[in-house]
Every structure is written in structure tokens, then in C-alpha cells.
Amino acid sequence: MSKNIDSILEFGEGVFFKKSQTSSAKWLELELTIISENFYGRKVWDKIFVDGDTPGKSGMPKAKEIGLKTLRRILDSAFNLNSNDNSDVAKSKRQISGIGDLISKEICFKVGVAESNGYSPKNKIKWILTPDDKEYVVGSSYSDYAAPFKRQVFISRIGVYDQYKNLVGLATLSKPILKNDTDDISFKLKMDI
């Protein structure tokens, strides 16, 4: 369970973070839209944790240490900066007034797949690429790419709800079914009681 929190002062103003109701964990939820040709328009969601219960080597929470390193890589990727570039120009590019400054920035990253208990696998950020990495791509040569994008999902489970929107049954398909936004699909379920 989580709730929105208004802001974390050191990360700037704005409702960007969520907080756990059972621990001190706080995180930034990311939604990234792919702009390269083959997967244009697809989304990747991930989180950057900026607080937690486990102490790190520096004395600050381990989640914050990792989160700050990730944010640094995001800035280096967005501004085409090598990680060891400590010039005044690089330092000034890394100085942002808050998380809101990252909105609409282009970054380069590797996509991984996260397995989760009871849920379908999902894409996640495996690694933020910077100019230090061989696979890094400078900017986007596809920023005006306009291939038709068809949103699609795979249906693997069907929830059955009562009139009060309470889940009363769950049907699992033996093989997921591809559904495009333009498709209307009806299912006939047999209750085994």
C-alpha cells in the first residue's frame, strides 16, 4: 500500500513521490515512452527508490544511495555526459532544481524483464546507458518518427465482479489472447462450483 506525498524538499517541489504505509520507503514512479523506431510509443514503468529502512555504507539509506546513483546516470544520459566529466559545464548540467526538470528528457536505457509473484512479467529499466557504455545512443534520430502504433494487451485472466465492484471470481486462460484497442472480445465463462 502506498500514498502520494507532496514533495521531498531535496528533490524539488511537486507530487512526484509515493510513500509506503508500512515502512519508510519512498519512491519516484517512472513512465518512459520509447521513441526508437521498432518499439515507438511503447511504455516502460519503473521506480527509483529515494528512502528506505536498510542503512547503506555512507550512513544514508541504501535505497537513497542507489536512487541518487540512478538519477545521476539519468542526467548523464540525458545531457550526453561521461561519468568522470567533472568540468564546470558538466556540473552545471547536473544541477537541476528538482525532479520536474527531468520531464520530457530523452535518455538511453536497456530494457529488462521483471518477474513478479502471481503477475505477468513486465518490462523494467535494466540499466541507464551513458556515453561510457558502448550501446549508448546520442539523442534520438527518431524524434519525429510517426509509424502507426497500435496499443495491444494480452488477456490472461478475467475478473468477475458483483454490482458493488467486489471481485467474486477469477478465470485464468490457458493461453493469453492478444487484444488490440479496436477489438471487442466477449468471453463465455462456465462456473465450476
Per-residue pLDDT tens for 108-151?
A: 999 888 887 778 888 888 999 999 999 888 765 544 445 555 67
Asked if pLDDT for residue 170 goes beyond 90, the answer is no
Question: What's the average model confidence in pLDDT over 168-186?
Answer: 82
Res 189: pLDDT = 81
Instruction: Give me 56's grid cell.
Output: 547503506
Q: What's residue 14's pLDDT?
A: 64
CA distance 61 to 56: 5
Residue 8 pLDDT: 62
pLDDT at 57 over 80: yes
Residue ranges per structural domain of the chain: 2-129, 150-193
d(CA 80, CA 108): 10
For residues 50 and 65, the answer to whether their CB atoms sit within 8 Å is no
3-state SS class at 94: helix
CA angle, residues 136, 141, 143, in degrees to nearest 5:
115
Strands 43-51, 152-161: pairing is: unpaired
Residue 187's alpha-carbon distances to 45, 155, 160, 191, in angstroms, are 29, 11, 11, 13
